[in-house]
Amino acid sequence: MLRLFFNESIKRGLVQLVRRQLYWIVMMVLPIVCTVFFLDLMKGGVVERVPVGIVDLDNSAVSRRIERNLDAMQQVSIRQHYTDYHEALQAVQRGDIYGFIFLPERLEHKALSGQEPVVSYYVNYAYFSPASMQYKGYKTTTLLANGAIAKTTIEATGLLSEQGVMNLLQPVLTQIHSLNNPWLSYGYYLNLSFIPCMLALFILLATAFSIGTELKYGTCREWIASAGQSMEFALFGKLAPHTFIFTCTGWMIQFLMYRVYDLPLNCNPWHMLLAMPLLVLANQGFALLMMCIAPNFRFGTTLCTLLGMLSFSFCGFSLPEEAMYGWVRALGYVMPIKYYFLLSIDQALNGIPFYYSRYYYAALIVFIALPWPLLWRLKRECLHPVYVP
């Protein structure tokens, strides 16, 4: 008898998948299309040679040196020279350039006479990545120019040797080594977080929608009856096909990330292959938990949508955790995608031993078991549905 109910529950779940093309679009088409879009968009890595302009009202040796140093940097490329501030500002507003540096009159004279001239740079932050690159280029160039002027002034006094001047200007020599991403590629940082988070969002929506439609259209009693009044059988029959399809989709996404687009995979591939079905099950468990807390189509799907979208921010993918309030940072650990992101950083990017990521795998397993104590609420609502508009 149990086998009959088990088979009927699986059959009902498969029939729903076949009848609704929306499931196939959300579970296979959209995740793959979005993955290729993100990977192809950022396959160039870090933004380079951002087109900028310059307003040089001094035309001195110092201003020309600043221009040469700026144009030689990898971040920016000087495309236009302008005669005044307003002309350069209009070029930024038209979109001809992303920003410009302003060198005032008598720059060299003021710098050598100790009058502290002001060099300004204007950045269009409507485009965050190009703006960050050009700001870094401007900042580095002006700091180097300040150091060169100070070095020339001190050497002219004859009080210190060239080496003594260098020790005075830079008493501590720093060396920066970017581990596992020496190219500082934005694609490595963003794709490792955005793509799995996007997949998690689709899992949350598909799971909540699948359960919520039974409540919305009044078929929940029939759903429970086909599983022999067993909530566990009913959920297994409905979500098992979802789990299989989403896992296969996730493995395809991992193949695109780590083999086709060559994102770092510095661990045993099985570590990430194991993490994918855990990610799928953990997000299904989280969506099921939301439906148990709010057994209503509108409330449950709204909770999953809201938390799934906000996880891009409060999980630390688009905003650094250090800039968040403490309670917002803590909220990020409520979502399963946070733990998948941490283990992907440990395993795929850093390649540390599997042992040190065991807590993240365990956290995903906890999310799978989290909704089971509350299944009675969902079953009660299915057996005695109350319409809530």
Indicate whether 136 belongs to any domain: yes
Residue with tokens 């236009």: 80
Gap between the Cα atoms of 170 and 32, Å rounded: 50
- Is the pLDDT assigned to residue 307 strictly greater than 70? yes
Q: Are residues 207 and 330 in the same domain?
A: yes
Q: What is the extent of the structural domain holding 126? A: 50-169
Structure tokens at 363: 């956290």
Gap between the Cα atoms of 131 and 246, Å rounded: 37
**For 118-157, what is each residue's pLDDT tens digit?**
777 778 777 766 777 777 777 777 776 665 565 555 555 5
Q: Which of 141, 169, 197 is the last residue of a domain?
A: 169
- Is the pLDDT assigned to residue 376 strictly greater than 60? yes
- In this predicted structure, what is the pLDDT of residue 251? 96
Single out the residue of 248, 254, 293 nearest to residue 272, CA to CA. Answer: 254
Q: What percent of the chain has pLDDT over 90?
A: 21
Q: Are residues 23 and 114 in the same domain?
A: no
Q: Are residues 164 and 292 in the same domain?
A: no
Indicate whether 389 belongs to any domain: no
Measuring CA to CA, how many Å separate 308 from each of 61, 128, 150, 262, 315? 55, 23, 53, 27, 10
Indicate whether 281 belongs to any domain: yes
Q: Which residues of 243-276 are buried (b: 16+ CB within 10 A; e: fewer)?
A: bebbbebbeebbebbeeebebbbebeeebbebbb
* Total number of domains constituting the chain: 2
Indicate whether 20 belongs to any domain: yes
- Cβ atoms 182, 290 nearer than 8 A: no
**For 175-210, what is each residue's pLDDT tens digit?**
666 666 656 666 777 788 889 999 999 999 999 999
**Phi, psi angles (nearest 5°) of residue 319:** -140, 130
Across the range 238-243, mean pLDDT stands at: 90
Task: Tell me if the pTM is above 0.85.
Answer: no
Q: Are residues 209 and 160 in the same domain?
A: no
Amino acid residing at 298: R
Indicate whether 174 belongs to any domain: no
- In this predicted structure, what is the pLDDT of residue 41? 75
Q: Are residues 63 and 22 in the same domain?
A: no
Strand order from edge to edge, sheet including 76-82: 76-82, 50-56, 99-103, 120-123
**363 or 385, higher pLDDT:** 363
CA atoms within 13 A on the CB side of 325: 3
**For 7-65, what is each residue's pLDDT tens digit?**
677 777 777 787 888 888 889 999 999 999 888 877 766 667 788 888 888 787 777 77
Indicate whether 175 belongs to any domain: no
Across the range 366-385, mean pLDDT stands at: 88
- Is the pLDDT assigned to residue 164 strictly greater than 60? no
**For 359-369, what is each residue's pLDDT tens digit?**
999 999 999 99
- In this predicted structure, what is the pLDDT of residue 363? 94
Mean pLDDT of the chain: 80
- Is the pLDDT assigned to residue 102 strictly greater than 90? no
Single out the residue of 369, 379, 382 nearest to residue 289, CA to CA. Answer: 369
Q: Are residues 218 and 340 in the same domain?
A: yes
Measuring CA to CA, how many Å separate 30 from each of 209, 255, 262, 294? 16, 16, 22, 27
Q: Are residues 342 and 210 in the same domain?
A: yes
Q: Are residues 325 and 219 in the same domain?
A: yes
Q: Are residues 128 and 35 in the same domain?
A: no
Output the domain CATH number for residue 80.
Answer: 3.40.1710.10
**Phi, psi angles (nearest 5°) of residue 210:** -65, -45
Q: Are residues 161 and 294 in the same domain?
A: no
- In this predicted structure, what is the pLDDT of residue 250? 94
- Is the pLDDT assigned to residue 169 strictly greater than 80? no
User: How many Å from the N-terminal Cα to the C-terminal Cα in the chain?
Assistant: 37
Instruction: Find the angle CA(286)-CA(288)-CA(290) to the nearest 5 degrees.
Output: 70
- Cβ atoms 124, 92 nearer than 8 A: yes
Indicate whether 177 belongs to any domain: no
